[in-house]
Structure formats: structure tokens, C-alpha cells
């Protein structure tokens, strides 16, 4: 019997394996089917094929949580039962090293830790994407449900719509007609436009990175808060916007390979890219203003159907955003609607922001203006000319600026300028992304390593407390598991915080260190008694 007792090892493996498998299947079934799938079925009827596919998505997520618990429970229960039957007393009397008997536990804990790490780092992130694919298969119903909510559906962060009723076009499954539509468009943290539309048609299509929708609005009545004016528009189209699905792309849902990729290239992460686009827009506006400023005495603005020639005797930059203010202005308009002449005391040239630089427009607002339209002449306090697009060559130059160049350009701006503020947002989101990636990687490794040390401790405590009953084994396993889970969750939240990233990582691993210490103390001292 001395040496390595293979017969006894196989016996322990068999007993632990049975308990582990039964516990894992039971917990996965309860958590996955009862807690996950059934709640999702309440959202609507599903076919048998959809149900099977949904189960295949949910079970791996449940297994990542249940396998460690099953391994811990089986180790505590098996070794507790052996201790209660005085099996270890017989082994010690036969001269068998007690620590050798923990080989089955070490193997089971290592396998459980490896499988858990593979599930959390590779399988589950892909399952989340498959879940979006599952939801996207009926994206029309998803949009309809969201439109009926009080908050409606938000597109590109600044355009939110709500509909009293909606129905899918029977001839086109990718088309939804909306009735009783209200919408709001924001500019930063404040709303800029609010209005209603008689009819809205929403056309959506699938692309490589998600689902996109285009809106066709008819019979629009809206209020422009920035201008303080009401307007009526017969028809308007809003370019394609991404439709947010049920599970957004977050750092938590990236595979380990993707986490390592974005950790070295955080500027490519979607949230940072969104802020980079805002910075590009801010830098673009400044470059546009700089280009116009060089021609302030004689400025030409042109669109597809209209052209403005602007003369001024005095010009100044607007302090807030760098816009151009002209004085003693004379404007000559030529286009499809005929020629006009404007003489104004003052004019304000601004860039009206769009979702991209190319969708932005140049606007000219005249104050205290005399308008000559053929033989007719009249005066207005204010007159806003037809917006014109950004020149293509200038838009292409701005869009070609890399992120590094944008950040370098912003560094020379005043601290309170829009460009500097946008640059600070990019830096803040980039730093937050790096912290979240580091915390997520550490969390996955910590959770997997904790499985190994907890299962060893569960087996040792099962011997000490002679846990012959399942309830005793579960109670022995619960306390150290709770300590590890609390420290991992607390450490992760601290690691997200700008002030405590390093402290958060230390807290995350502190629970594992405590349990590892208990492992050493239990195996070296308690088992000798």
C-alpha cells in the first residue's frame, strides 16, 4: 500500500466524479433552463428549433457558474464522507501519505479551473454574439417593442423616436410603418429639436457590424430650440443609423484574444472611436473656420443649387467655438430660385454639426438685413441663408487625419475650447477602456484560479469537519467561496475607478491569497492531528 495507492485514487475519482456530474447537471439545468430560457420565452412564442438554439446559447453561460460550485461540493462531500467512515484513519495506519490522497482533488480542480477559464474567456463572448444573432433574426419585432416603450428607441445617441403604433409591411419584412410618432434630437446634453410626424417609415438592413435603420418622415412639425422657431417640412430622410441590440458590445463580452488586442490598441475600441469622431468633428470645425478666416474679406460658399459671394469690411472670431462674425456685410446669392442681394449690419458664419463631417453644413445668419429680390426690396431683423455643404476637399482632408494627429492638434488648444474638451474626453475614455480591460482579464484569471484553491480547501475542510451529509459539505464550501466572490467583485469595481486601479487588482486577488493560505495551513497542520 505504500507509495502511490492507485486503487484508492481510482475509488476517490469515481466517487467525486459521480457527485460532480450529478451536481453540475442539476445546477446547470436549474440555472440555465429555469432561470434563463423560461424567462426569455415569456417575451413571445418560439418554435422548437428556436428553443433548442436558445438552450444551446444559455447552457454554456450557466456552466461557467455551476462547474466550480459542483467541483467544490463534490470534493467536500466525498472527502467528508471518507473521513466520517474513518477511511483516512485506516490509510494513515497503513503508512500512506495523506497528502497523496489529494491528487484526485487537484486533477478535478485543475480541470474545472481550465474549463471555467475557457468558457469565460472564449465560449461565452461568442455565445453573447450568437444571442445578438438570435435576436437579430427577428429584429423587426425587437424594434416594435422598443418603439412602444416610454423612452422609445435611440439612434446615434442624439435622435430618439417614440411611436404609438407600428406594423411590419406585409410585402417587405425589413420595413416598419409607424403612426403617432414623436421625436427629439439632442445636442450634447440638451435637447435641440422636438417634433411630431404624421407618418414614418423605418427601413432596416443587416451589415457586417450590426443592423442599421433609415427613417423616412412625412408631415413633420418641429420646434428648433436653438433658433426659437417652429417649422413644417413635407418630407425628410435620416441617414442609416445603427440599431442597438439587446446585448451591446462591451469589454466584458470580448474574448481573451480581443482583450489583449484592444489593450495594446485602445484607440481602436468602439467607445474610444466614438469619442475620436467627436474630436474629429471639433477639430474639423476649427479647420473649417480657419480656412474661412483666411478668406474673410471675400468669402465664397457654394452648394448644388445655390452660391453665395460674401463681402465684409470687418471680421472677428467668436470666442466660444471659433466661429466667424462679419460686420458691414454684402451677400450676393445666385441659384435656381434666382438672384438676390443682401446688405446686413452683421453676419454669423457657423458649422451646423452633422453625424459626420460630410453631413455637416455651413450656415450664414444675417442680422438687420435689407433684401433685394428683383424689383422688390424689404428689411428683416434676421435672415438665415440656405445651408451649404462642407467643401469636399476640406472634408476629405479632415477625415484623413489620424487619431494621433487629432490628439496632437488638440494639445495646442486653450483648455476651455471645444477641441480641448473633446480631446480630454478621448483621453478619459481611452484610460477607462484600458482599466476595464485590465480588470476583466484579471477577473477571469482570478475566478479560474479561485476554483483550484477553493476545491482543495473544500476537500481538506470536508475531512476536518467529517461532513458525511450533503448539507454539511455545502455549508463548509459556502464561506470561503463567498469571501473570494466578494473580493473579486469589489476589486473589479475598484479597478474600474480612476483613483484605485492598482488597489482594485490587489483586492481582487486578496481573497484567493487568503484561501491559498488556508489551504496551506489546513494541509500542513490540521491534517496532522
How far is CA 218 from its chain centroid? 33
pTM of the model: 0.79
Q: 343-402, pLDDT tens digit by residue?
A: 999 999 999 876 678 778 899 999 999 999 988 999 999 998 988 989 888 888 888 888
Task: Summarize the confidence of residues 286-294 as an average pLDDT.
Answer: 91
Q: Distance (Å, rounded) from C-alpha 224 to C-alpha 226?
A: 6
State yes or no: pLDDT of 301 exceeds 90.
Answer: yes
H or E segment to which residue 165 belongs: strand 159-168
Pick the CATH number of 139-248 from 1.10.3470, 2.60.450, 2.60.40, 1.10.1580: 2.60.450
Which of 139-153, 316-330, 395-409, 479-493 shows the lowest mean pLDDT across its residues?
139-153
Assign 5 to helix, strand or coil.
coil
Enumerate residues 6+ apart whose C-beta is below 8 A from 165.
178, 179, 180
DSSP secondary structure string, 107-141?
HHHHHHHHHHHHIIIIIHHHHHHHHHHHHHTTHHH
CB crowding 334-345: b at 16 or more within 10 Å, else e: eeeeeebebbbe
Q: What is the pLDDT of residue 37?
A: 45
Using an 8 Å Cβ cutoff, are 454 and 485 in contact? no
Q: What is the pLDDT of residue 418?
A: 83
pLDDT grade for 45, boundaries at 50, 70 and 90: very low
C-alpha cell at 9: 485514487
Q: 118-169, pLDDT tens digit by residue?
A: 999 998 888 777 666 655 555 666 676 667 676 677 765 567 888 888 877 7
C-alpha cell at 448: 479560474
User: Domain ranges in the chain?
Assistant: 6-137+432-528, 139-248, 281-412
Cα 509 to Cα 254, 263, 326, 441, distances in angstroms:
22, 20, 63, 12
H or E segment to which residue 218 belongs: strand 210-224
Q: Percent of the chain, pLDDT > 90?
A: 35
pLDDT grade for 42, boundaries at 50, 70 and 90: very low
Using an 8 Å Cβ cutoff, are 200 and 218 in contact? yes
Amino acid at each position: 500500500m505504500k507509495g502511490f495507492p492507485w486503487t484508492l485514487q481510482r475509488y476517490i475519482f469515481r466517487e467525486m466524479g459521480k457527485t460532480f456530474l450529478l451536481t453540475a447537471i442539476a445546477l446547470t439545468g436549474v440555472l440555465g433552463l429555469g432561470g434563463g430560457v423560461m424567462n426569455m420565452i415569456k417575451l413571445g412564442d418560439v418554435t422548437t428549433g428556436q428553443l433548442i438554439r436558445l438552450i444551446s446559447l444559455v447552457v454554456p453561460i450557466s456552466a461557467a457558474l455551476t462547474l466550480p460550485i459542483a467541483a467544490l461540493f463534490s470534493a467536500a462531500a466525498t472527502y467528508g464522507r471518507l473521513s466520517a467512515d474513518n477511511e483516512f484513519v485506516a490509510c494513515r495506519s497503513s503508512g500512506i501519505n495523506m497528502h497523496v490522497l489529494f491528487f484526485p482533488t487537484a486533477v478535478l480542480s485543475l480541470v474545472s479551473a481550465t474549463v471555467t477559464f475557457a468558457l469565460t474567456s472564449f465560449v461565452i463572448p461568442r455565445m453573447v454574439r450568437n444571442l445578438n444573432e438570435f435576436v437579430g433574426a427577428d429584429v423587426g419585432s425587437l424594434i416594435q417593442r422598443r418603439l412602444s416603450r416610454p423612452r422609445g428607441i435611440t439612434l446615434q445617441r442624439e435622435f430618439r423616436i417614440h411611436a404609438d403604433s407600428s406594423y411590419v409591411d406585409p410585402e417587405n419584412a425589413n420595413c416598419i410603418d409607424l403612426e403617432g410618432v414623436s421625436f427629439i434630437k439632442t445636442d450634447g446634453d440638451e435637447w435641440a429639436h422636438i417634433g411630431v410626424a404624421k407618418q414614418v417609415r423605418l427601413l432596416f438592413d443587416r451589415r457586417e457590424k450590426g443592423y442599421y435603420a433609415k427613417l423616412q418622415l412625412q408631415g413633420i412639425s418641429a420646434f428648433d430650440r436653438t433658433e426659437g422657431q417652429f417649422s413644417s417640412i413635407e418630407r425628410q430622410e435620416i441617414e442609416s443609423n445603427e440599431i442597438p441590440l439587446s446585448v451591446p458590445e462591451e469589454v466584458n463580452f470580448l474574448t481573451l484574444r480581443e482583450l489583449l488586442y484592444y489593450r495594446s490598441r485602445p484607440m481602436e475600441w468602439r467607445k474610444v472611436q466614438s469619442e475620436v469622431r467627436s474630436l474629429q468633428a471639433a477639430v474639423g470645425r476649427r479647420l473649417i473656420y480657419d480656412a474661412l478666416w483666411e478668406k474673410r474679406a471675400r468669402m465664397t460658399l457654394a452648394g448644388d443649387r445655390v452660391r453665395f459671394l460674401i463681402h465684409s469690411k470687418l471680421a472677428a472670431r467668436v470666442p466660444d467655438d471659433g466661429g466667424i462674425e462679419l460686420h458691414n456685410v454684402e451677400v450676393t446669392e445666385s441659384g435656381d430660385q434666382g438672384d438676390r442681394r443682401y446688405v446686413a449690419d452683421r453676419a454669423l458664419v457657423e458649422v451646423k454639426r452633422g453625424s459626420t463631417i460630410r453631413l455637416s453644413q455651413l450656415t450664414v445668419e444675417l442680422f438687420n438685413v435689407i433684401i433685394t429680390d428683383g424689383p422688390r426690396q424689404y428689411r428683416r431683423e434676421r435672415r438665415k441663408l440656405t445651408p451649404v455643404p462642407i467643401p469636399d476637399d476640406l472634408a476629405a482632408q479632415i477625415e484623413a487625419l489620424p487619431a494621433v494627429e487629432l490628439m496632437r492638434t488638440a494639445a495646442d488648444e486653450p483648455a476651455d475650447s471645444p477641441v480641448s474638451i473633446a480631446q480630454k474626453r478621448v483621453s478619459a475614455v481611452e484610460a477607462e477602456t484600458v482599466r476595464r480591460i485590465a480588470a476583466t482579464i484579471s477577473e477571469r484569471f482570478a475566478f479560474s484560479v479561485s476554483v483550484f484553491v477553493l476545491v482543495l480547501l473544500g476537500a481538506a475542510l470536508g475531512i476536518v469537519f467529517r461532513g458525511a451529509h450533503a448539507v454539511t459539505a455545502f455549508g463548509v464550501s459556502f464561506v470561503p467561496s463567498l469571501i473570494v466572490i466578494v473580493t473579486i467583485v469589489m476589486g473589479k469595481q475598484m479597478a474600474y475607478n480612476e483613483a484605485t486601479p492598482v488597489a482594485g487588482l490587489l483586492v481582487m486577488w486578496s481573497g484567493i491569497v487568503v484561501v491559498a493560505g488556508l489551504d496551506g495551513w489546513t494541509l500542513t497542520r490540521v491534517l496532522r492531528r
